[in-house]
């Protein structure tokens, strides 16, 4: 059988135990802390509601003040914890570089005269396709105007979009195996042509 005093003490301990179990640290461990700013907003609003509920007049109810003090301390600790954690979480989040997505062939060629190079290539190598398109890609890569890896499909896609003729399939281009005997001279000629374009002001 509880006296009023023991009942208050029991309720205070229960409140304390609940607040210890319900906090941002626990939410974070459970993966439920994805929006700390929103949690902090809820805490600030709840803290304000509690203050308004208790009012501003002096309150002689000491027992009620004990509960209010516990909640106010919990609110304060939560806000401090969240303020400390937010910048740490942001620092740990991978920062991806913002890059402008390339939309055409000129934007993936790494040279200030890229547009001029593309337009000149379209004239010089009109109707190029399949095997010769692969040689053109090789020439551009050997001049370090395009990456050596993971660029073939994008190169073909942009050529298909921008060249006003049938360039054949990407497979036809990619599957061609460079022949040192028969292809070396043509690639060299392409490199000379493109190299001259890069030197044009």
Q: Give per-10-residue mean pLDDT for the chain (201 aa).
A: 72 80 78 79 86 75 78 88 84 53 84 92 94 95 92 93 93 91 93 90 58
Give the pLDDT of residue 128: 95
Q: Tell me, letter by letter, the H, E, C secondary structure of 102-129.
A: CCCHHHHCCCCCHHHHHHHHHHHCCCCC
CA distances for 171 relative to 65, 157, 186, angstroms: 78, 12, 21
CA distance 11 to 3: 12
Give the pLDDT of residue 28: 75
The residue among 73, 74, 77, 90 whose CA lies nearest residue 37 is 90
Q: Are 134 and 174 in contact (CB under 8 A)?
A: yes
Q: Are 70 and 12 in contact (CB under 8 A)?
A: yes
Give the pLDDT of residue 169: 94
CA distances for 10 relative to 4, 68, 70, 81, 196, angstroms: 10, 15, 14, 27, 88
Give the pLDDT of residue 101: 59
Dihedrals phi, psi of 167, to nearest 5 degrees: -100, 10
């Amino acid at each position: 059988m509880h006296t009023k005093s023991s009942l208050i003490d029991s309720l205070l301990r229960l409140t304390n135990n609940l607040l210890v179990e319900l906090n941002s640290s626990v939410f974070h461990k459970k993966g439920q802390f994805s929006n700390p700013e929103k949690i902090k907003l809820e805490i600030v609003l709840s803290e304000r509601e509690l203050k308004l509920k208790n009012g501003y007049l002096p309150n002689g109810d000491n027992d009620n003040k004990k509960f209010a003090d516990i909640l106010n301390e919990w609110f304060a600790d939560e806000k401090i914890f969240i303020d400390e954690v937010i910048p740490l979480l942001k620092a740990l989040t991978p920062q991806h570089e913002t890059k402008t997505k390339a939309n055409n062939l000129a934007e993936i060629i790494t040279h200030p005269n890229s547009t001029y190079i593309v337009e000149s290539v379209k004239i010089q190598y009109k109707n190029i396709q399949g095997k010769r398109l692969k040689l053109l890609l090789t020439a551009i890569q050997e001049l370090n105007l395009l990456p050596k890896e993971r660029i073939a499909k994008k190169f073909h896609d942009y050529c298909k979009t921008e060249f006003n003729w049938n360039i054949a399939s990407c497979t036809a281009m990619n599957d061609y195996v460079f022949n040192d005997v028969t292809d070396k001279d043509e690639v060299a000629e392409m490199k000379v042509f493109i190299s001259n374009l890069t030197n044009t002001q």
